[in-house]
Amino acid sequence: MDELYGSLSPAQRAAFLEGPALAPPAGVLPNFEMPNNGNALCLGVTIPTTVIAALVVFLRLYSKISCAKKLRVEDAIMVAALGLYAGFIYIAWTLYNFPGGFVHQWNVRVRETPRLLHYINTAVIIYGVAMLLLKTAILLDWIHIFAPSPGLRTRFYRASVGIMTINILFYIGCILAEIFACSPREKLWNVLLPGRCDVNTYAINVVSSVFNFVIDLVMLALPQGLIWRLQLSLKKKIALSLLFVLGVLGCVCGALRIVYSISFMRSADKSYTVSSFALAGIGEMTSGFLVVAIPAFPKLVKNSPFLRRILDKMQYPFSSEKDAPNSRQGLPSWIRAKGQARGRLETGDEYAGRGVQDAECADSAYGMSRNATQNKVLGAREEKQTGSPSDGSGVDFITAQQV
């Protein structure tokens, strides 16, 4: 293309740059001024997902600061990912303004194409860094939940660290490939320049989409083994498990991103196919924020009278008189492990003899860990009420009823 363009006369070059960036179908005339677009759909997805992502991050930070009184490294990583997410949304919004969402490339002039492709390349790099940070934040948070002390460095811990390492190395490779795919770099978005491109960045998008989907599936299953080893009722295991399966939204968006990345790679109509590709990426990032933020919410609910009143009103029509004494006002009875054998993680030989640590590990899943003195108080209360001996290890896992 660059050689053909270089052989044109100045007048021919000017005419070429003002022409359509893609030959239109037979009988279709280019419309450079007001082409049909899908901005309504794009904005209908982008605005709610942006609000949701910002809201859940704010609520997690508020919960950590007001309830737990401390922040962890994963919170800082999450905030950094939100900043990159905002940059991705800014680029998407800019492209909605020009050329527009789902606008065919024959409605875009040749001279306007480099700007479009430059934005796309920048957005892909931002997406890669954001996903690297989000998955790292999620895995670090789960490590603090399920393996908070050196005595709990189990298979879950090793698997989490392994996934985190693979994810970081993979995305660093993809980002570097996106940046240095062409020489000079500007040729990546301006095909009329002389130079060469040694890497197919569209193929990288497909590979990263497949990788993301596989990692999402692995992460979706990762905490379930621990949860289903808890000595809880089936109903309570299901309720707790559901808090950690929000990643299924990411899997759905990841599957869609695979389909749309293939379409984006194969189609010459880049300005049209990039819209669905970008929306799938927005959905995937938003689900990542949900996964990392939601586990902190029960602590926030417990310490918020306003939220307790709302949940109490939501529960009241479905509560019976028999259930009423067993549910503290305003808090849902998600999971409760009552008695000395409840709320303990059973993950094999490595957990043998670590009943108290296991209980504290499970309890910390929602920022409600108790120290040994508090556990003894709970055990003493239980012994007084039931008349049965207690060793003071009666720990609530997630309880809206006894905290």
Say how far apart CA 327 and CA 237 lie, in whole Å.
Answer: 18
DSSP secondary structure string for all residues of 11-79: HHHHHHHTSBSSPPPTT----SSS----HHHHHHHHHHHHHHHHHHHHHHHHHIIIII----HHHHHHH
51 occurs within a structural domain: yes
Contacts for 334 with CB less than 8 Å, ≥ 6 apart: 236, 239, 240, 243, 298, 398, 399, 400
Say how far apart CA 288 and CA 249 lie, in whole Å.
Answer: 9
Helix (H, G, I), strand (E, B) or coil at 137: helix
Q: Which residues pair with 254 in a beta bridge?
A: none
Which regions in the chain score pLDDT beneath 50?
Answer: 316-403
What are the tokens at 394? 């009666």
Give, for 171, the enclosing helix (H) or strand (E).
helix 155-179
Say how far apart CA 71 and CA 63 lie, in whole Å.
Answer: 10
Please tell me whether residues 73 and 220 are part of one structural domain.
Answer: yes
Question: For 99, which DSSP code?
Answer: T
Please tell me whether residues 306 and 291 are part of one structural domain.
Answer: no
Residue with tokens 């409760």: 336
pLDDT value of residue 304: 64
336 occurs within a structural domain: yes
Please tell me whether residues 263 and 332 are part of one structural domain.
Answer: no
The gap between the terminal CA atoms of the chain, to the nearest Å, is 69
**Residue 370 near residue 363, CB atoms below 8 Å:** yes
pLDDT value of residue 361: 37
Please tell me whether residues 84 and 126 are part of one structural domain.
Answer: yes
CA nearest 235: which of 336, 136, 323? 336
Question: For 197, which DSSP code?
Answer: E
**Residue 32 near residue 108, CB atoms below 8 Å:** yes
At which of 273, 296, 319 does a domain end? 296
Please tell me whether residues 144 and 85 are part of one structural domain.
Answer: yes
Beta strands at 196-197 and 182-183: parallel, antiparallel or unpaired = antiparallel
pLDDT value of residue 319: 45
142 occurs within a structural domain: yes
354 occurs within a structural domain: yes
CA nearest 189: which of 121, 126, 125? 121
3-state DSSP percent of the chain in helix, strand and coil, to 5: 70, 0, 30
DSSP secondary structure string for all residues of 217-261: HHHHHTTHHHHTTSS--HHHHHHHHHHT-THHHHHHHHHHHHHHH
Residue with tokens 């043998």: 352
Please tell me whether residues 227 and 372 are part of one structural domain.
Answer: no
22 occurs within a structural domain: no
pLDDT value of residue 152: 63
Model pTM? 0.76
16 occurs within a structural domain: no
Helix (H, G, I), strand (E, B) or coil at 344: coil
pLDDT value of residue 69: 80
Say how far apart CA 336 and CA 236 lie, in whole Å.
Answer: 7
Domain that holds residue 56: 2-9+35-296
Number of domains into which the chain is organized: 2
What are the tokens at 252? 């759905």
At which of 296, 322, 344 does a domain end? 296
How many other C-beta atoms are found inside a 10 Å radius of the C-beta of residue 55? 12
What is the per-residue pLDDT across 163-186, written as a single tens digit (0 to 9) for each? 999 999 999 999 999 999 999 999
What is the per-residue pLDDT across 93-108, written as a single tens digit (0 to 9) for each? 999 999 999 999 999 9
Say how far apart CA 351 and CA 395 lie, in whole Å.
Answer: 17
Please tell me whether residues 85 and 231 are part of one structural domain.
Answer: yes
14 occurs within a structural domain: no
Please tell me whether residues 157 and 113 are part of one structural domain.
Answer: yes
Please tell me whether residues 197 and 250 are part of one structural domain.
Answer: yes
**Residue 100 near residue 39, CB atoms below 8 Å:** yes
Longest dimension (CA), the chain: 98
pLDDT value of residue 8: 79
Please tell me whether residues 321 and 190 are part of one structural domain.
Answer: no
**Residue 2 near residue 191, CB atoms below 8 Å:** yes
CA nearest 377: which of 354, 358, 403? 403
pLDDT value of residue 149: 73
Say how far apart CA 101 and CA 296 lie, in whole Å.
Answer: 36
Cis bond before residue 184 (omega within 30° of 0): yes
Please tell me whether residues 336 and 274 are part of one structural domain.
Answer: no
398 occurs within a structural domain: no
Please tell me whether residues 259 and 337 are part of one structural domain.
Answer: no
The CATH number that applies at residue 132 is 1.20.1070
Say how far apart CA 390 and CA 261 lie, in whole Å.
Answer: 59
